[in-house]
Amino acid sequence: MPAAYEHIVILTGAGISAESGLDTFRDKNGIWSKYAIDEVATPQAFRRDPQKVHDFYNMRRRRVREAQPNAAHYALARLEEAHDGEVWVVTQNVDDLHERAGSRRLIHMHGEILKVRCPACGAVLHWEEDLTPETPCPACDTVGCLRPHIVWFGEMPFEMDAIERRLEECDLFVSIGTSGNVYPAAGFIQSVRRNGTAQTVELNLDPSLGEDLFTLKLYGPAGEVVPMFVERLLAGQV
């Protein structure tokens, strides 16, 4: 029997990693309540005070290394494995918890904290240690420009063409753990609705800004709601 949904796209945000101990951005006590975006997450901030920007990402890199995937990450990996159709996860998260849980068809649209990039030679390298402005690029030895492989505010997210193609063909779009504040990801639901008749689902702790645009909504902690949803989907009940 053909799969009910042949092309599933799942957008994830910080909420899916909250139960792994990683802070979200806009919840009470979230990252943006403690740090100013324009001091740590823009190209201008990096030019002005690279040490401060490195300190911010060094702290977050250490936390990611200590964190473990939770039931929601594992449920999405199980879906990819068990579902007959294609399942893609497009994540705004820079942690590696989806891949550690087993997801393979995965796009990191905001970059990856366990990678660094050298603007001088273009190298993108796996990186687990702290960075400083004095860290030389291991590929070309240039000092002073190695940066986290992260999309900062004002920069273009990665792989937008591939994402747009997946959104055009998808027949099920699921948004998990994202507040709907940051574009272009916050606009994916509108693209999906414009493109056709895909089923649209929001799984979140609280309703997002785009709540009204989703047909099916389930609210609760991702570690509970996502596995429940995946089991229903695999049983043909969605």
| Catalytic site positions | 110
Quick check: 109 and 158 in contact, CB under 8 A? yes
CB of 81 to ligand OAD, least distance (A): 22
CB of 181 to ligand OAD, least distance (A): 5
CB of 138 to ligand OAD, least distance (A): 25
Angle at 41 between CA 37 and CA 42, to 5 degrees: 105
Q: Which of 42, 142, 181, 191 binds ligand OAD (CB under 6 A)?
A: 181
Q: Is 17 in the site for ligand OAD (CB under 6 A)?
A: no
**Structural Rg of the chain based on CA atoms:** 18
- What's the CA gap between 118 and 25, in Å, rounded? 27
Q: Which of 7, 78, 110, 149 binds ligand OAD (CB under 6 A)?
A: 110
- What's the CA gap between 98 and 204, in Å, rounded? 17
Quick check: 64 and 114 in contact, CB under 8 A? yes
- What's the CA gap between 103 and 87, in Å, rounded? 9
Q: Which of 177, 192, 198, 200 binds ligand OAD (CB under 6 A)?
A: 177
In this structure, what token pair is assigned to residue 121? Answer: 């030679």
Residue list 42-101, contact with ligand OAD (CB under 6 A): 92
Q: Which residues bind ligand OAD (CB under 6 A)?
A: 13-15, 18-19, 24-27, 30, 41, 92, 110, 151, 153, 177-179, 181-182, 204-206, 208, 221-222
